[in-house]
Structure formats: C-alpha cells, structure tokens
C-alpha cells in the first residue's frame, strides 16, 4: 500500500530536532529514533531522542524567558503574536496537514479540515479571549478593598498524545501563552513532525526565544519523566492514558505541581427509540470510527433501546461496511491506518478478547483484504457482550464498538455510569424532558444531546472520575494557566 498522491510528494517528511531557546538542536548525546509512517511501515525520518539533559536546558530557557520580553510585552502585542501563530498555521495548512497524516495515518481530508484549522483556531480563540479576561474585586464594608491580580503560573510542562497531535498540543499551548507562561512541550514520540514545525512558526510570529521549547523523546525514563520531575516546572498539563496520568501525578507530587489532566474515556452513546435513526446513524458512524476510533470522545459503548435495536444494527452495519479503509491520501478514504504497530497489536488483541468473552463480530474485526502493509483494521461492530466483559469496560481507542440493547431509562443510566471513566456521553432522543433528565444523571464531563463533538471553546472541557482532573476551555483554561494574588487594602 503506497500513499502516492501528488500532495504527499510535494511535502517532504522532516527530521525532527528539539526546539530550545529559539534554536533547533540535536540531543547532546546524538541519540535519535526512527519515525515510522503507519500507513506504509516505511521510515519517515529521524527524531532526536531527548532526555534529562535536554529537559534541563529547555526548562532553564523557559525560566529565564519568564521575566524577559514576554513579560514586558503589552497585552495588545501579546495578542498580536498569538494571533499571528494561528495565521501562519493557516498559511501552512497543506504542509502541516500532510505531515500530520504521514505521522498518524489519519485521512488527509480530516487533518486538513479539522486538525490543522482547529489548531489555528486555538490561537485565534485564546488571543481574543485574553482581551476579556479580568479578575475580581470586593469592597469589605467601608473598611477595605480587595482585588485580585492575575499572573502566570510560571514554566508549564505540556505532555501530549498522538491522536490529534497539533490540535491537542495547541489547545494547551495557546491559553498557556496567553496567560503569560513559558512552556516546555513534550510531543508524543509517534507523532513529532507538526510539533517540530511549530517552533519555526512561533519564531516567525515573534515569540521571544525561550518562551516555547519543544523536546522530543519517550515517556518513562526519558524526556517525559524528566519534565514531570523537574523542580523548576510549576505546572503540568497532560493529555493521555489514565495509567500514565497516575505515574505523572506521583512524580509531580515531589514539588507539588499544579496539574490539569485530560485522560481516557469509554464513552456511552445512548439511543432511545424515539430518536431519528437516520440522523443517529450518520453521527454514530463518526463517533465510532472517525480518526480510526482514536478519539478520546468516541462513543465506543453503544446502547440501543430494544424497540429499535434490530433496525439500528441492520442499518448501522450496512453503512459502516461502506466506509472505505485505506491510503490516508486517497480522498475516498474514510478510515486510515492506526498510529503504529504496538497500538495495532493492542486493538487486535481486544478483538480476540471479545471473541473469547462470547462476543459476536458483526462487522470487521480484521485487516482489510489485500492490504498487507500498514496498520489497518476494518470498522468493527461487536454484539453479545455483558457488562463485566473487558471489551465493554476497557478503553480500546480503535475502530471498535460494542452494541447492547436496553429496556428502560433507569437501566441504561446505570449501565452508562458503570465505569471508572467519565469523559463524555451522547444521548439521542426527541423527548426534551427525557434529554434533560438523563443528561443530568450521566457521570461525564460532557454530555451531547442529539449530536457529538460539537465544540464551543468557551465551555468547560474535561472528564470526571478517572477521565481527568480539572476543566480547560475559555475561563477554565485561564484559571489553570494563571495564579491569583488577592490584595487587601485597608481604607
Ligand atoms: P500515553 O499516556 O501513552 O502518552 C501520552 C504522552 O505521555 C506521550 O507524550 C508519552 O510519551 C508521555 N508519557 C508516557 N509515559 C510517561 C511518563 N511516565 N512520564 C511522562 N510522560 C509520559 O497516551 P497515548 O497513547 O499517547 O494517547 C492515547 C490516550 O490519550 C488514550 O487513553 C486517550 O483516551 C487519551 N486522550 C485523552 C484526551 C482527553 O481530552 N481526555 C484526548 C486525547 C487522548
Ligand atoms: O476539542 C478539544 O478541545 C479536545 N480537547 C478534544 C479532545 C479529543 C480527544 O481525543
């Protein structure tokens, strides 16, 4: 399988160095690792493998930059610089989208219409938001006046996953910069290319040296752990697996760093019999299989009211069968390659477990016929599993969904909440009272009614239970990325 479009030939994959104090540098010890194209299994290039030494340099640069020109810039100038990063991302959209698809295996149409435009919008949104951010003031009878001043937290470490690389990295970086912090970013080791270009983009936009630093490398015993353990890092914003979040929390405890976590999910998609099934199916195809199911918000546990269960399954399976799996650069492709070999093995293993647990594979469950290279798995629909099965309980993060019938509202609420995750949920119903009633009882940070992944960046985004700590978005991001000092003046 060859990704052979004209686009891909025009934009060359890049080797990835660290970006520290405004300069691209290799690792002190010269170590690199290979970046693999998951769609072809070919080597895309080399990535500098950072460790403690590079993190030390990056944190020192970020610490020094905290009190430099970044601090002295007027709010208007900072807004202009942050907006300019977004502008340049849009100017270089084709190049960035190509690199993102080469790195992740996701369809080019997706990276060029969602990942990269949204990365640009993260900067535009938080630049504009900064203009409106204030603090609070209270008059204490006629004795005193209290007012709070907002200041940056300091040096913020940002650790990112591979599924929406630039979108998620900039979702942290834009508010972090807007609030006046300096940052050290650790991109996911599987997807280093767009993060690397971002260094150059920041420099061109006028970000002072040392404000943005990017160190490549792995997680444990590498750049990731060095960042979480560094005593001069004041806060960590982490997106990734719940298990990794637990490890980072214990490392961060040593210097009591502020933490913001966006973690895993096993999200319910609840379909009541009174909903419009065609609309449900159109969106459920996306919430199940878009980005190869590698979205933390995917509704991988589908619960369908028994009255429409058979009809839903028949129509949903027929439509999912039509989804073209293949070359990320072919415009017909709806589902690309999984991000890498290890993840492919993990998803395949869960499909095997589903069969061992008594599940029936209604669709997919295997590599598409004739595709011998690349980490492809067909959209997979599994039925016949019970609530205690691992495939129902554990996050798979691939194009795999389970479908289970239910009879009553109470039953489905209990099933939906029967998980240690609490990231998101979708509810499909045309009964307004039911929509409110059920939404209010689902234990999740985000509940969509008759839709999925409809985003307004002002809203609180994050998970409850083991899906996260805190919320980001709008004011919530500014609360995390800033510290308040209350000043009390006796009158
Ligand atoms: P991961 O936890 O394996 O890795 C994420 C990042 O953490 C990588 O950069 C990795 O190098 C780093 N890391 C790993 N171990 C570390 C350690 N000991 N110390 C410091 N850093 C370490 O996650 P992943 O496989 O890249 O991403 C998939 C996961 O991310 C899924 O669980 C998914 O649900 C979750 N996710 C959540 C959200 C959300 O908004 N809630 C968004 C996207 C992805
Ligand atoms: O839309 C966002 O802001 C966001 N953080 C999405 C996360 C998707 C998870 O894969």
The reply to whether 432 and 336 lie within a common domain is yes
The reply to whether 231 and 301 lie within a common domain is no
Establish whether residue 262 lines the binding site of ligand 1, counting it when its CB lies within 6 angstroms of any ligand atom.
yes
Give residue 12's pLDDT band: very low, low, confident or very high (50, 70, 90): confident
The reply to whether 98 and 41 lie within a common domain is yes
Instruction: Please choose from 162, 188, 262, 421 the residue to mutate so as to test ligand 2's pocket, defined by most ligand atoms within 8 A of CB.
Output: 262
Cα(161)–Cα(473) distance, rounded to whole angstroms?
18
Return the biggest CA–CA distance within the chain: 80
The reply to whether 129 and 77 lie within a common domain is yes
Helices (H), 105-222: 108-110, 116-130, 165-178, 193-205
The reply to whether 241 and 299 lie within a common domain is no
The reply to whether 345 and 236 lie within a common domain is no
Give residue 9's pLDDT band: very low, low, confident or very high (50, 70, 90): low
How many whole angstroms from 293 Cα to the centroid of ligand 2?
A: 13
The reply to whether 206 and 303 lie within a common domain is no
In the predicted structure, residue 35 carries a pLDDT above the cut 70: yes
Give residue 11's pLDDT band: very low, low, confident or very high (50, 70, 90): confident
Helices (H), 322-376: 341-356
Residues framing ligand 2 (Cβ under 6 A): 163-164, 168, 171, 262, 295-297, 455, 461
Instruction: Locate the ligand 2 atom nearest the alpha carbon of residue 168 and give its number.
Output: 5
Cα(186)–Cα(297) distance, rounded to whole angstroms?
22
Percentage of the chain modeled with pLDDT above 90: 98
- Do 193 and 103 touch, CB atoms closer than 8 A? yes
How many whole angstroms from 179 Cα to the centroid of ligand 1?
A: 24
Buried b (16+ CB within 10 A) or exposed e, 154-179: bbbbbbbbbbbbbbbbbbbbbbbbbb
How many whole angstroms from 438 Cα to the centroid of ligand 1?
A: 30
Please check whether residue 98 lies inside any domain of the structure: yes
In the predicted structure, residue 309 carries a pLDDT above the cut 70: yes
Establish whether residue 421 lines the binding site of ligand 1, counting it when its CB lies within 6 angstroms of any ligand atom.
no
Taking only the tens place, the pLDDT of each residue in 70-119 is 999 999 999 999 999 999 999 999 999 999 999 999 999 999 999 999 99
Structure tokens at 206: 């006028």
Full domain range(s) for residue 389: 268-462
Nearest to 94 by CA among 8, 196, 201: 8
Instruction: Locate the ligand 2 atom nearest the alpha carbon of residue 163 and give its number.
Output: 10
In sequence order, which residues have a C-beta less than 8 Å from that of residue 484 and are 6 or more positions away? 135, 148, 149, 150, 151
Instruction: Locate the ligand 1 atom nearest the alpha carbon of residue 262 and give its number.
Output: 41
Structure tokens at 260: 């913001």
Cα(97)–Cα(217) distance, rounded to whole angstroms?
22
Least confident of 6-15, 136-145, 335-344, 371-380: 6-15
How many whole angstroms from 161 Cα to the centroid of ligand 1?
A: 4
Q: What mean pLDDT comes out for the span 127-136?
A: 96
Taking only the tens place, the pLDDT of each residue in 317-336 is 999 999 999 999 999 999 99
Instruction: Please choose from 168, 288, 294, 299 the residue to mutate so as to test ligand 2's pocket, defined by most ligand atoms within 8 A of CB.
Output: 168
Phi/psi of residue 346, each to 5°?
-65, -45
Task: Please name the residue that has the structure tokens 């849009």.
Answer: 90
Pairing of strands 268-271, 424-428: parallel
Cα(32)–Cα(293) distance, rounded to whole angstroms?
30
Nearest to 213 by CA among 441, 324, 61, 385: 61
The reply to whether 151 and 187 lie within a common domain is yes
Establish whether residue 49 lines the binding site of ligand 1, counting it when its CB lies within 6 angstroms of any ligand atom.
no
The reply to whether 207 and 290 lie within a common domain is no
In the predicted structure, residue 44 carries a pLDDT above the cut 90: yes
Give the pLDDT score at 179. Answer: 98
Cα(57)–Cα(215) distance, rounded to whole angstroms?
10
Q: What mean pLDDT comes out for the span 375-382?
A: 98
Please check whether residue 1 lies inside any domain of the structure: no
Cα(102)–Cα(94) distance, rounded to whole angstroms?
12
Which DSSP letter does residue 111 get?
I
Establish whether residue 260 lines the binding site of ligand 1, counting it when its CB lies within 6 angstroms of any ligand atom.
no
Phi/psi of residue 102, each to 5°?
-65, -40
Structure tokens at 230: 């560094």
Domain count, the chain: 2
Which DSSP letter does residue 132 get?
T
The reply to whether 106 and 18 lie within a common domain is yes
Domain at 416, CATH number: 3.40.309.10
Instruction: Please choose from 241, 395, 480 the residue to mutate so as to test ligand 1's pocket, defined by most ligand atoms within 8 A of CB.
Output: 241
Establish whether residue 241 lines the binding site of ligand 1, counting it when its CB lies within 6 angstroms of any ligand atom.
yes
Strand order in the sheet with 424-428: 360-363, 380-383, 400-406, 301-305, 268-271, 424-428, 446-449
How many whole angstroms from 168 Cα to the centroid of ligand 2?
A: 6
Please report which helix (H) or strand (E) contains residue 406, including its range.
Answer: strand 400-406
The whole-model pTM stands at 0.97
> If you take atom 13 of ligand 1, which residue's CA is the nearest one?
219
Ligand lying nearest the CA atom of residue 467: 1
185 in helix, strand or coil? Answer: strand
Give the pLDDT score at 4. Answer: 47
Instruction: Locate the ligand 2 atom nearest the alpha carbon of residue 473 and give its number.
Output: 3
With vertex at residue 58, the alpha carbon angle to CA 157 and CA 60, rounded to the nearest 5 degrees, is 100
The reply to whether 419 and 471 lie within a common domain is no
Give the pLDDT score at 10. Answer: 66
Query: Catalytic residue positions?
Result: 262, 296
How many whole angstroms from 369 Cα to the centroid of ligand 2?
A: 32
Give the pLDDT score at 5. Answer: 54
> If you take atom 5 of ligand 2, which residue's CA is the nearest one?
168
In sequence order, which residues have a C-beta less than 8 Å from that of residue 108 and are 6 or more positions away? 5, 7, 97, 98, 101, 328, 329, 331
Taking only the tens place, the pLDDT of each residue in 184-232 is 999 999 999 999 999 999 999 999 999 999 999 999 999 999 999 999 9
The reply to whether 57 and 123 lie within a common domain is yes
Give residue 482's pLDDT band: very low, low, confident or very high (50, 70, 90): very high
How many whole angstroms from 119 Cα to the centroid of ligand 1?
A: 18
In the predicted structure, residue 1 carries a pLDDT above the cut 70: no
Domain at 172, CATH number: 3.40.605.10
């Amino acid at each position: 399988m060859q990704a052979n479009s004209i686009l891909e030939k025009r934009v060359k994959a890049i080797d990835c160095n660290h970006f520290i104090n405004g300069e691209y540098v290799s690792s002190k010890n010269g170590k690199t690792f290979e970046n693999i194209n998951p769609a072809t299994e070919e080597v895309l290039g080399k990535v500098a493998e950072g460790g403690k030494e590079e993190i030390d340099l990056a944190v020192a640069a970020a610490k020094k930059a905290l009190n430099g020109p970044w601090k002295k810039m007027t709010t208007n100038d900072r807004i202009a610089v942050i907006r300019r990063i977004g502008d340049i991302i849009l100017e270089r959209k084709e190049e960035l989208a190509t690199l993102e698809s080469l790195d992740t295996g996701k369809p080019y149409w997706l990276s060029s219409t969602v990942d990269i435009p949204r990365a640009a919008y993260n900067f535009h949104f938080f630049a504009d938001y900064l203009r409106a951010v204030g603090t609070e003031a209270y008059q204490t009878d006629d004795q005193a006046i209290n007012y709070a001043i907002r200041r940056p937290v300091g040096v913020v470490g940002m650790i990112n996953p591979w599924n929406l690389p630039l979108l998620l990295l900039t979702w942290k970086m834009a508010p972090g910069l807007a609030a006046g912090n300096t940052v050290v970013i650790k991109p996911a080791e599987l997807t280093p290319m767009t993060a690397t270009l971002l260094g150059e983009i920041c420099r061109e936009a006028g970000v002072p040296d040392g404000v943005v630093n990017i160190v490549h490398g792995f997680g444990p015993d590498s750049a990731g752990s060095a960042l979480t353990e560094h005593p001069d890092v004041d806060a960590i914003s982490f997106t990734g697996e719940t298990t990794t979040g637990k490890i980072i929390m214990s490392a961060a405890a040593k210097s009591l760093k502020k933490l913001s976590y966006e973690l895993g999910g096993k999200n319910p998609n609840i379909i009541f019999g009174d909903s419009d099934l065609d609309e449900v199916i159109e969106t459920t195809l996306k919430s199940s299989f878009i980005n190869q199911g590698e979205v933390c918000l995917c509704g991988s546990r589908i619960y369908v009211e028994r009255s429409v269960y058979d009809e839903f399954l028949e129509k949903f399976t027929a439509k999912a069968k039509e989804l073209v799996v293949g070359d990320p650069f072919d415009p017909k492709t709806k589902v690309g390659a999984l991000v890498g070999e290890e993840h492919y093995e993990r998803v395949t293993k869960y499909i095997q477990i589903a069969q061992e647990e008594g599940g029936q594979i209604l669709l997919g469950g295997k590599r598409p016929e004739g595709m011998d290279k690349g980490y492809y798995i067909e959209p997979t629909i599994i039925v016949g599993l019970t609530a205690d099965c691992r495939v129902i309980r554990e996050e798979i993060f691939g194009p795999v969904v389970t479908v289970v019938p239910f009879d009553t509202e109470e039953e489905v609420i209990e099933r939906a909440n029967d998980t240690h995750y609490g990231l998101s949920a979708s509810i499909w119903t045309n009964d307004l009272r039911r929509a409110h009633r059920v939404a209010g009882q689902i234990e999740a940070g985000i509940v969509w009614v008759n839709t999925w992944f409809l985003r307004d960046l002002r809203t609180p985004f994050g998970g409850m239970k083991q899906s996260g700590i805190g919320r980001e978005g709008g004011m919530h991001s500014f609360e995390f990325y800033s510290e308040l000092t209350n000043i009390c003046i006796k009158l």
